[in-house]
Structure 1
Amino acid sequence: MLNISKAENDAPWKAARRQLDLSEPPENGLGYGGSSRSGSSRPEDIREAILRTGKEIVTLGASDPEMISLMGFFEEDVGPDTISDMTTTVIIEDLAAITEGFCKTNGVPLFSFDFGAGHMLPKFVDAKGRLTPIILVPRDIVRDLPIANDWSDIERAAMENARIRDRVNKFLGGIIRPTVIERKNALRNAALGSSADFDFFLAAVKANVGNYDPNLDALGYYRLKEIVAHGFPGLKQPTPYDLKLGANEIVRVVKDTIDQFKRHVEAGNLWEELWVGAKPKKERASQLIYYAIADAFCKANDLDISPEANMGGGPIDFKFSSGYEARVLVEMKRSGGTVVHGYEKQLEFYKTAAQTEFGLFVVIDYGDLGNKLNEIRRIREERLKKGERASEIVVIDATRKASASKRK
Structure 2
Amino acid sequence: MKIYFSDFFEINPSIIEDYGAFNISLINDLPLFIDPFLLFGSKKEEYIKLHGGILKYLTFLKQKAELGINEFSQVKSWYLFPEVKQNWFGYSKVGNGGSGLGKKFGEALSSSIHIVFDDLGKEVVTQSSHLEKAGLFEIGVGKDNISDFTTNLIKEYLLEYTEKFAQKFIDAKFLKKVNVSKVYFNYDLERWMPKEFELPVLFGDYVLLTPKDLLTKDDNWINSNDLRGDFDRICGSIPNDQLRHEIFNYFKKSLPAPPKNKKNTQKEISQAVHYTIKKFPEIIKYYVKLKEENKAGAKNISRQKVDQVESIFIHQLSKFVEHLMEDSDFYTISPESSYEGSLKRLLFLKSFIEDNDGYRLFYVDHQPIKREEDLQLIYRLTWFASDLDVNREVNNGRGPVDYAISSGSKDKTLIEFKLASNSKLKQNLAKQVEVYEKANNTKKSIKAILYFDVTEYNKVQKTLKELNLDKAENIILIDAGRKPSASNVK
The normalised TM-score by structure 1 is 0.47
Between the two structures, name the one with larger relative contact order (CA 8 Å, sep ≥ 6): 2
Give the TM-score taking structure 2 as reference length. Answer: 0.40
